[in-house]
Amino acid sequence: MTAATKTIQGNFFEDFHLGETIRHAVPRTVTEGDTALYTSLYGSRFPLNASDAAAREMGYAAAPLDDVLTFHIVFGKTVPDISLNAIANLGYACGIFHQPVYPGDTLSTESEVIGLKQNSNGKTGTVYVRSTGRNQRGETVLSYVRWVMVRKRLPHSAAPERHIPNLPEAVAVADLAPPRDVSYARYDTGLTAQPYLFEDFEPGERIDHVDGMTIEESEHQMATRLFHNTARVHFNQFYEKDGRFGRRIVYGGHIISIARSLMFNGLGNAIAVLAINGGKHTNPSFAGDTIFAWSEIVSKHDLPGRTDAGALRVRTVATKDRPCGDFPDRGEDGKYDPSVVLDLDVTLLMPRRAG
């Protein structure tokens, strides 16, 4: 007789059911210590998140968490249930930051399975989930969709019914949730020493963010643990030495945070992330890689009822060990340059020039 194990083995593809709701452990109270650690890992310098005084001048209660830090904490809760047995996280869509998160808030996450598709090899399947992060008052702070390739427990087991959700290319402007009861009408560009505001950017414009950041082994390990991300591919070298790459893979969100921090040089006044429209981790990253980034302004949008700020839809491409002065991208065949590790589509909040 085989004894039942009390340890968590994670869900395999056959374990997911369309429409099921998964409540994730463990609620997390965020602190100023989280912000300090996040700054030490990524060097983020956006003034809204760095200065209580600057945030209060705009009408915030205090400096809120960096939006990408909020994303990591909400995302990390989902890993033991959604992607512990994953091969790859394939993409993101429909990400909306609904309201600021402050130190002292407690975040929890719930996910709904909205799509399932067995892959042609019969050994894996793609799981689509809509995850929602809420604070201690039950208010939604973040919602997003992601899809992930998950191993099957048994290759010949029956697959769940196939259903692929219809996802929009981008979050509609009407669905964006810029913070209420705040104003950027007197936004001070001296906070960033960069003069460029909403009026100064045009669709099609490309910006090389110039700077690079080398990933240290200790940094991506600390980040993975900070976000409660339990995926063994990121921190268990004992297992990964026999894996596909023979070493630990850097958590894709780590690259997102580096890219967002690098964006400061050129987009320093884009002080908040309103939406994650889409994103792909196109190649793996490892400790020792140096990450660079460039951005393209995709489109500009007025925010309904707001004259103090607008929305910039921005595509940001991150590379490893290749500066972005020539904007490495996809070729005519649609294939990415081998150096590209991230292709991220976001909508950013950018103050307008007064008057």
Instruction: Report the CATH number at residue 223.
Output: 3.10.129.10
In a domain, 202, yes or no: yes
pLDDT at 87: 86
Which tokens is 324 given? 């972005």
In a domain, 3, yes or no: no
pLDDT at 271: 94
pLDDT at 66: 98
Question: 16, 81 in Cβ contact below 8 A?
Answer: no
* Token pair 């200065």 in the structure block, residue: 51
In a domain, 39, yes or no: yes
In a domain, 2, yes or no: no
* SS3 per-residue string spanning 245-312: CCCCCCCHHHHHHHHHHHCHHHHCCCCEEEEEEEEECCCCCCCCCEEEEEEEEEEEEECCCCCCEEEE
Q: Which amino acid belongs to residue 126?
A: T
pLDDT at 355: 67
In a domain, 109, yes or no: yes
pLDDT at 2: 53
Helices 252-262 and 32-42: crossing angle, nearest 10°?
80
The three-class DSSP label of residue 140 is: strand
The three-class DSSP label of residue 191 is: helix
pLDDT at 8: 83
How far is it, in rounded angstroms, from Cα 330 to Cα 337? Answer: 6
Q: For residue range 65-76, what is the model confidence (pLDDT) as tens digits?
A: 999 999 999 999
Q: Kindly report the number of other CB atoms within 10 A of residue 281's CB atom.
A: 24
Structurally, the chain folds into a number of domains equal to 1
Name the phi and psi angles at 224, rounded to 5. -60, -45
Helices (H), the chain: 32-42, 47-50, 52-58, 67-82, 217-226, 232-235, 237-240, 252-262, 264-267
How far is it, in rounded angstroms, from Cα 153 to Cα 15? Answer: 9
Q: For residue range 239-286, what is the model confidence (pLDDT) as tens digits?
A: 889 888 999 999 999 999 999 999 999 999 999 999 999 999 999 999
Cis peptide before 26 (omega within 30 of 0): yes
In a domain, 6, yes or no: no
User: What is the sign of the dihedral through the CA atoms of 215, 219, 224 and 227?
Assistant: negative
In a domain, 307, yes or no: yes
Q: Which domain holds residue 60?
A: 13-351
Q: Enumerate residue ranges in the chain where pLDDT < 70.
A: 1-4, 355
